[in-house]
Structure 1
């Protein structure tokens, strides 16, 4: 069973997680016979958090409850509160994930948290545009590895800008291998263009049990 841990913190940017967690949790476009994943929200404390959009989320578990394995994934959303030292524990956990070969996805403000920890100093990554990481992470040394794209996949690390949520989701789903390749391409084409022909192409790629 693949476990997706989603870190939650106050001012979490709701839209950045929407595509990836809805598809992974629902499994509605998974290929035939693909096992559903277990999605768990995790935080530094048991208290509920309030997202940027005003939603209240109660964490399923704490950082100490995370089981780090090759079949685990850690998703780190953007937020305005990443500079709080209490979030250091989840970045240390992210480093463990990466060292083991497990997947870590970080978007928007979460990329600053990785940069502060030195994780982006020697591997390809992106963020909210050139100069953004230098502005918010004085110790950042990864300029030569920065790629100015909405989302960048580097083995088991997936980084994205605040506008890269859709491509980020596509790359994460592709890495997990839970969609057929033609399903994923049609899914991405539909949500990036809105053209109805891509929706019908998407439906044609699905097993009949998923298309109801």
Structure 2
């Protein structure tokens, strides 16, 4: 039986605005969202000052028990190796055929782990990822968000495009409703509201 549980990584300085559309609309379409942290029982604080208590630890997270792992950006992605275990977990997920979605600084973490070396991807700008020394620069794509197989990537200014790729990959909406959803939240198209709610 296919799982309907999505896992959102949370860590200090995570960019809370980058995953809000994704998690809210997944929850509204029948998915369960659970948070994953490095340690049990220790709250983390987002860039916006929101406190989150992880539902489970990264060590306890299994790809076969998840529909998707979402990695938000965070200041810590570029401040050392503290978040490297999340990039390693992403590699494990992809190896098991379970999708991973990374936005903003999380893409640099995946680049350092070698996850982007053989997959099309995007980020904030190409030279941001190039600074990691990764081998996948030829696969960098100038786009709001990119899906390559089980990997979804986006830059920090594209949380709606990021959510569109996630919702599409998990089948939360059919193609027509997904198009209406994107036109409503990305383009402020009032006609899309009725299409989405038809």
Distance in 1, Cα, partners of 2:143 & 2:155: 8
Give TM-score scaled by structure 2 length.
0.93
User: Residue 82 of structure 2 aligns to a residue in which SS?
Assistant: helix
Do 2:5 and 2:65's aligned partners in 1 also have CA atoms closer than 8 Å?
Answer: no
What CA deviation, in whole Å up to 9, does each residue of 1:160-211 have, x standing for no partner?
000121111111111111212211111111111212211112111xxxxxxx
1:3 aligns with 2:5: yes
The CA distance in 1 between the partners of 2:11 and 2:43, in whole Å, is 9
| Aligned-pair CA distance for 1:71 | 5.0
How far apart, CA to CA, are the structure 2 residues paired with 1:72 and 1:2? Answer: 6
State the number of aligned residues.
Answer: 194
1:110 aligns with 2:93: no
The alignment's TM-score, normalised by the length of structure 1, stands at: 0.87
Residues 1-212 of structure 1 mapped to structure 2, 5 A cutoff: 1-27=3-29, 36-46=30-40, 47-69=42-64, 71-82=66-77, 83-135=79-131, 137=132, 139-204=133-198
Contact 2:9 2:69 in 1 (8 A): yes
Equivalents in 1 of 2:187, 2:89: separation in Å? 36
Q: CA–CA distance in 1 between the matches of 2:98 and 2:167?
A: 14
After superposition, the CA RMSD in angstroms is: 1.3
Q: CA deviation at 1:118?
A: 0.9
1:132 aligns to what SS in structure 2? helix
CA distance in 1, matches of 2:110, 2:66: 21
Consecutive unaligned residues in structure 1, runs of 5 or more: 28-35, 205-212
Distance 2:20 2:86 in 1: 21
Structure 2 partner of 1:30:
none
Aligned counterparts of 1:202 and 1:3: Cα–Cα separation in 2 = 23
